[in-house]
Amino acid sequence: MKNKYIIPIFVPHLGCPNDCTFCNQRKISGQMKNITENDVRDTIEYYLSNFREKEVKIEVAFYGGSFTGIEPEMQEMLLGAAYDYIKEKKVHSIRVSTRPDYIDKPTLKRLKKYKVKTIELGVQSTNDYILKRCKRGHTYQDVIKASKLIRRYGFVLGHQMMVGLPDSTEQDDINTAKDLIKLKPKIVRIYPVLVIKGTELEKEYNKGEYEPLTVNQAVERCKELCYMFGKKKIQVIRIGLQNTENICSPSNENSEVVAGPYHETFRQLVEASIYYDTIVEKIKNFNTKVKEVEIIVNPQDVNNVVGYKRENIIKLKEMYDVDVVIKQDIKHTADKIDVIISKTHKDFIDDKETVKNK
Ligand code: SF4
């Protein structure tokens, strides 16, 4: 059973004072026209009529653009349309995403009035040089101020950060995560930078001034950040841009992605890599020459144990000469794996000897 249904409503580029060099929200969201009050109602009605499970909480999420940068009257119109459904108890909460420099007390009071629960800040980096380089138009100080104010007003605070921004090293990305952790968000989204058509970044890329991360580099960086956020119980609710008709492999002719670490199951690559590290660590801790292990998991975690195209199983065999037998147990705690030795090298050799002597 799902724990929450999201009704996404995109407000592409509404409220943005400028174009950040990597961004083309219209392409990313797949939505080219601006949104009206009626669009909000139509979208909510459409989703409500398609949700199957009845006991699940429903949230309306205004994504893209900078919600609190929109004219206040228009914000009230859009929020009012969603709030009607909260009053009718058909929707349970509202979330908005916005920029750190568009948060102040009057804005937060307005959001409170319409029962907005979660505010996600597009931070991207906490390094002022990198923010400037990407023409973000705000500073790390704005992030600190906005985050503190959001929490003081009792909203759920979310942060969005990017990895692989121009001139951002691995250490810069790690530093951004460290800075965000200090600001105590409840949720985080991590986006590896993709080069999108029609952006300034595309021009930089074409001139050879920007080199995107490879998929492997992006997976490694995101994995490190997941460990950091996980240790502080900050939930990583998204890794990588959502796949859409336009956000797909650069090899697809409709794709708006020119280059960068695109992968259709990017999050799974990161999670599978985390599982791989866990399995290897457990095997090493056995401190004996292991030939075969049995891994017990909840069925929902099998793909992460196996890895994309069985990558984890293949690597365990190639790197450590370990075979894997997976046992699925519906009662096993999700996100947790138990690894037990089913055969050591000695057992394996003894078995072979027995067969030979028969
Ligand atoms: S990254 Fe955010 S603030 Fe920048 S242009 Fe895109 S939607 Fe607007």
Q: pLDDT by residue (tens digit) across 90-134?
A: 999 999 999 999 999 999 999 999 999 999 999 999 999 999 999
Domains, in order of start, for the chain: 4-264 (3.20.20.70), 280-357 (3.40.1260.20)
Look at residue 353 in the predicted model and tell me its pLDDT: 63
Look at residue 348 in the predicted model and tell me its pLDDT: 67
Q: 195-196 and 187-192 as β-strands: parallel, antiparallel, unpaired?
A: unpaired
Handedness of CA 240, 244, 246, 252 (dihedral sign): positive
Q: Give DSSP secondary structure letters for 79-130.
A: HHHHHHHHHTTS--EEEEEE-GGG--HHHHHHHHHTTEEEEEEEEE-S-HHH
Look at residue 82 in the predicted model and tell me its pLDDT: 97
Distance 63 CA to ligand 1 centre (A): 11
Look at residue 31 in the predicted model and tell me its pLDDT: 55
Look at residue 345 in the predicted model and tell me its pLDDT: 76
User: pLDDT tens digits for 66-87?
Assistant: 999 999 999 999 999 999 999 9
The distance of Cα 330 from the centroid of its chain, to the nearest Å, equals 26
Look at residue 29 in the predicted model and tell me its pLDDT: 57
Three-class SS state of 296: strand
Show the low-confidence residues of the chain (pLDDT under 70).
1-2, 26-33, 348-358
Q: Which residue's CA is the nearest one to ligand 1's atom 3?
A: 16
Whole-angstrom Cα distance, residue 259 to residue 301? 30
List pocket residues of ligand 1, CB cut-off 6 Å.
Answer: 13, 16, 19-20, 23, 25, 64-66, 99, 122
Pocket test for ligand 1, best of 13, 16, 133 (most atoms within 8 A of CB): 16
Evaluate whether 221 touches 269 at the Cβ level (below 8 Å). no
Look at residue 19 in the predicted model and tell me its pLDDT: 84
Look at residue 278 in the predicted model and tell me its pLDDT: 96
Look at residue 356 in the predicted model and tell me its pLDDT: 61
Q: At what angle do helices 72-87 and 37-50 cross, to 10 degrees?
A: 30
Distance 210 CA to ligand 1 centre (A): 19
Long-range contacts of 85-91 (CB under 8 A, 24+ apart): 85/44, 85/48, 85/60, 86/115, 90/44, 90/48, 90/58, 91/7, 91/44, 91/48, 91/58, 91/59, 91/60
Q: Which residues have C-beta within 8 Å of that of residue 315, sequence separation ≥ 6?
A: 276, 307
Distance 99 CA to ligand 1 centre (A): 8
Look at residue 32 in the predicted model and tell me its pLDDT: 53
Determine the Cα angle at 98 with ends 262 and 87, to 5°. 115
Look at residue 12 in the predicted model and tell me its pLDDT: 73
Q: Which residues pair with 327 in a beta bridge?
A: 296
Look at residue 24 in the predicted model and tell me its pLDDT: 84
Tally the C-alpha atoms within 13 A of residue 44's C-alpha that lie toward its C-beta: 26
Q: Which residues have C-beta within 8 Å of that of residue 191, sequence separation ≥ 6?
A: 160, 161, 162, 163, 238, 239, 240, 241
Look at residue 55 in the predicted model and tell me its pLDDT: 86
The closest alpha carbon to 170, from 117, 125, 108, belongs to 125
pTM given for the model: 0.91
Evaluate whether 67 touches 96 at the Cβ level (below 8 Å). yes
Look at residue 259 in the predicted model and tell me its pLDDT: 96
